Structure 1
Amino acid sequence: MAFKNQGSSPSALVIEDIKVDSVVLLRMLQKLNCEVTVARNGEEAVDLFLRGKIFDIVFSDQDMPVMTGPEAVAKIRAMGATEVKIVGISADFGGMEAFMQAGADVFVPKPMKLQTLESLIQDVIRKKNMSG
């Protein structure tokens, strides 16, 4: 189901080192009319924020080379990116605590379901429409 939204499509950042997982999430987000950027690890994601990129929502995997998801989330929050909704994703339920301590808004176990994704995107669109 595509969303009718006033204004621009929500911009999403997917931080995921496993190609197949990032492609699945990318396709689901595109179905929901999101503009998607993919980073292969936390460091790439942090670099995007350092370069001034702005996202409405970030989906971060937990275990990645170079910089883990929770490390990236903590750095992104420390840069002052407080408005962006950050979703931690992991097959490991122990990941919830790490993400929440790092400053994530939500934790979702893998595999991500389309309806879960859809409700997260709807929240972001509602917030965008209220502030815009």
Structure 2
Amino acid sequence: MAFKAQGSSSVKALVVEDDTVQRMVLLTMLLKFECDITLAKNGKEAVDLFFEGKKFDIILCDKDMPIMTGPEAIVKIRAMGESDVKILGMSADDDAMEVFISVGADVFVPKPMKVEYLGSIIKEIINKKKNTMD
């Protein structure tokens, strides 16, 4: 499922989250930053999107999901050569930071995520994109 913000910032975001409420919270946050958003309910759906040739600037990935966990998906996505995409691992688990960083996530964010923190990461991605276009 994809959502396109009006006046898009051109940041393509993938939200990988099995919890409906959490998905909607993240969707609302990302729409504030005018991102184009695709939703996946588990790691397998996320990996399948990359197999289809889809590209994203940022992935917000939950840890524990059915079918395929976030860390399992990150390993597969990185193995496909996707090194430019910024991956945020998200969880309320105590051991989640080590798990996410060890599999290739760029950043770990404890749940619940603060909108200000997400905003600073989105701004960083927008600036990086602008610099590569110049």
Name the TM-score class by shorter chain. over 0.9
Write the letter of the residue equivalent to 2:47.
V
Aligned to 2:4: none
- Give aligned pairs, total: 127
Whole-Å separation in 2 of the counterparts to 1:115 and 1:126: 17
- Following superposition of structure 1 onto structure 2, how do residues 22-37 of structure 1 map, counting pairs within 5 Å? 22-37=23-38
SS at match of 1:112: coil
Q: CA deviation at 1:130?
A: 1.1
Please state whether the residue corresponding to 2:108 is helix, strand or coil. Answer: strand
Instruction: Kindly provide the CA deviation profile for residues 62-103 of structure 1, in whole angstroms up to 9, marking residues without a partner as x.
Output: 000000000001100000000000000001131111110110
Q: Alpha-carbon deviation of 1:126?
A: 1.0
Secondary structure of the 2:49 match is helix
CA contact (8 A) 2:71 2:103 kept: yes
What residue in structure 2 maps to residue 44 of structure 1? Answer: 45
The equivalent residue for 2:90 is 89
Inter-partner Cα distance in structure 2 for 1:93 and 1:9: 34
Who is 1:16 aligned against?
17
CA distance in 2, matches of 1:112, 1:39: 18
For structure 2, the 5+ residue unaligned runs are 1-6
- SS of 2:73's equivalent? helix
| TM-score in terms of structure 2 length | 0.92
Shift of 1:9: 1.6
| Aligned structure 1 segments of 4 or more residues deviating by more than 6 angstroms | none
Partner of 1:99: 100
Whether the 8 Å contact between 2:100 and 2:108 is mirrored in structure 1 is: yes
- The secondary structure found in structure 2 opposite 1:33 is coil
- Give the superposed CA RMSD: 1.3
1:37 and 1:8 map into 2 onto residues whose CA distance is 15
CA distance in 2, matches of 1:123, 1:8: 12
TM-score by length of 1: 0.93
Gaps of 5+ in 1: none
Q: Is the 8 A contact 2:44 2:67 kept in 1?
A: yes
Higher mean C-alpha deviation, range 91-100 or range 101-110? 91-100
